[in-house]
Amino acid sequence: MPLAARTAGGNSRCKQRSCGFQKPMSLQLHYREAGDPTAPPLILLHGLFGSSANWLGIARRLAADFRLIIPDLRNHGRSAHAMPMDYPVMVEDLLALMDRLGISAAHLCGHSMGGKVAMWLALQHPERLERLVVADIAPVSYSHRFDAIFDGLQGVDLSPEATRQQIDQQLARWVDDAGVRGYLLQNLLRIDGEWQWRLNLSGLQAALPELLSFPEVGGQAFPGEALFLHGSCSDYVRESYRPIILRHFPFARLRMIEGAGHWLYAEQPDKFTALCCSFFSADGGC
């Protein structure tokens, strides 16, 4: 199936759908679907402040070899705003989506927060996973602060007469990196003439301590194959984290992508895709 496919609302690069379920609250999880429906399923999970749209470039590269499922995690993108917001709950959301789509097991690739969702699913439900790729994150607690991002997203003037460029210029007072601003501004949309953030900003800010941490896993270990990718310009995966990664993912391979920061799949998409394809190929991938 080509990547450019029909949607309920018109033409898009991916099919876009919503699934309703009751885990643990009434929640509609929006997702995009692309690729070959007869191929091995691969689920792509975005990071904090992201959405399924972040993966479209990678999806085009993988569409010939996988059935791609790309959800918006709760409180992001077109999915519902619902609390609580922690990794066990997000895994339940994902399992419910897999059940609804008839997917008993899938390859999983998660970036940052999405990587933590993927790791928690692997540790709690290894039977639902084939192979795992974790992009620039580790199963540890982080001290990174996002105050400037929250202050900026909540502080910009979203007057109806403002242009997207003007909002970007405002946001630069808090976030000086143009690439990060572009990533954040993917969440800005105009509805009935009014600018709105798709993100549940207050909910995400309240849940940030949970999202920066990782649930207690004790001695649990994922028995399957895993690939941990990190950028050479990122500080999210340090050499000191290697022992804890291997404790819980004993069959993991760790690979660095030169010239990439935290958003490694966007900064080095060809290298990222090549590593993923090589890793998945043993199970019939590209």
Is 262 considered catalytic here? yes
Please, which residues have CB within 8 angstroms of residue 278's CB and are 6 or more apart in sequence? none
Query: Which residues, other chains included, contact 279 with Cβ-Cβ below 8 Å and sequence gap of 6+?
Result: 131, 133, 225, 227, 253, 285
Distance CA 187, CA 199 (A): 7
Could you tell me the CA-to-CA distances from 26 to 19, 80, 239 in Å, in that order?
11, 9, 41
How far is C-alpha 106 from the chain's CA centre?
16
Residue 112 is among the residues annotated as catalytic for this protein = yes
Q: Which amino acid is at 56?
A: L
Q: Which of 46, 107, 230, 262 is catalytic?
A: 262
CA angle 26, 95, 127 (to 5 degrees): 160
Q: 121: which residues sit within 8 A by CB, 6+ positions away?
A: 91, 94, 95, 108, 128, 129
Q: What DSSP string runs through 224-281? A: S-EEEEEETT-SSS-GGGHHHHHHH-TTEEEEEETT--SSHHHHSHHHHHHHHHHHHG
Active-site residue (options: 51, 112, 234, 248): 112
- Beta carbons of 139 and 214 less than 8 angstroms apart: yes
* CA separation for the pair 87, 100 (Å, rounded): 20
Token pair recorded at residue 48: 């904090």
State both tokens at 245.
């990664």
- CA–CA separation, 281 vs 232, rounded Å? 25
What positions carry a catalytic annotation?
112, 262
